[in-house]
A = this chain, B = another copy of it.
């Protein structure tokens, strides 16, 4: 291994990450290396279960070559699908959508489902799973291009650009005249407040993320929580790592869906490790359309 190109963090990041927080280096001095989910091929192994040539997905550093341990790495069995899918549809975001929707939301046919950040890696799948179940599904996103994707590519019944709506609660009332049974929460803050006003009795909110809040020093206040009582709402936070025992069940379900083209999946591809910082920073400003992927090397 001659050199190992790496992306490192100059220092701890406060607030939104900026491109200037990162540095591209070829030294081997590992200082605050960011990590992410990636697909790798084994070059050398001292572990009996992993041999040269094996394909893996799991957490890797932002670098050309990584030293990894078996925990948090899955061997890739199905190679007749694009390998990049293991960073998304067939990896952590796919499992998140699957477990979050089927295990946390307790969905029933005919229910109404609202997904925020709906064109993202997780949201686009939740919407499609909900449609497969016979739910009425509405998504929101932050650009006309994304809203069009939701309606035309992912099969959502309706969608809106939250940036165009002065009154989020009114937008939800327009899309859900009979109220929301299930909310798949990806953003938090003002959106959650508007949703609470539009939830139905015995509604469920699966809290997957609150991306609007993560990088705020003071998080926005949510004011409509008394709705939880009158409407008997259940709010459940979840993290995908608690559901990895269901991964093979998930693959059995989703691989045929991909092959039969029952699921549409959109990636936003950045070419080259050097594009990593820009791609990450873009996430917080909604620049990506679909799952953000960075190509480090092609097969």
Contacts and interface: CB of A to CB of B under 8 A. Distances in A.
Interface in A138-195: 188, 192
Nearest to A193: B221
Contacts of A228: 207, 235-237
Interface string A210-242: 100110001111111111111111111111001
A238 B232 contact: yes
A115 interface: no
Contacts of A233: 235-237
Interface residues of A, number: 31
Contacts of A242: 232
A108 to B, nearest CB: 18
A92 interface: no
A187 to B, nearest CB: 11
A232 B237 contact: yes
Given A229-B208, A239-B232, A221 B223 contact: yes
Interface string A232-259: 1111111100100000000000000000
Contacts of A17: none
A235 B227 CA distance: 12
Contacts of A223: 218-222
The DSSP consensus for interface residues of chain A is: loop
Nearest to A218: B223
Contact of A188 (B214, B219, B225): B225
Contacts of A224: 219
A286 interface: no
A209 B213 CA distance: 26
Nearest to A203: B237
A242 B230 CA distance: 11
Contacts of A207: 225, 228-229
A213 to B, nearest CB: 6
Contact of A229 (B210, B220, B221, B222): B210
Contact of A209 (B219, B229, B236): B229
A282 B57 CA distance: 62
A209 B225 CA distance: 10
Interface of A: 188, 192, 207-210, 213-214, 218-239, 242
28 contacts: A188-B225, A188-B226, A192-B225, A207-B225, A207-B228, A207-B229, A208-B229, A210-B225, A210-B226, A213-B225, A213-B226, A214-B226, A219-B225, A219-B226, A220-B221, A220-B223, A221-B221, A221-B222, A222-B222, A222-B223, A231-B237, A232-B236, A232-B237, A232-B238, A232-B242, A234-B236, A234-B237, A235-B236
Closest 6 CB pairs of A and B: A221-B221, A228-B237, A235-B235, A229-B237, A219-B223, A207-B228
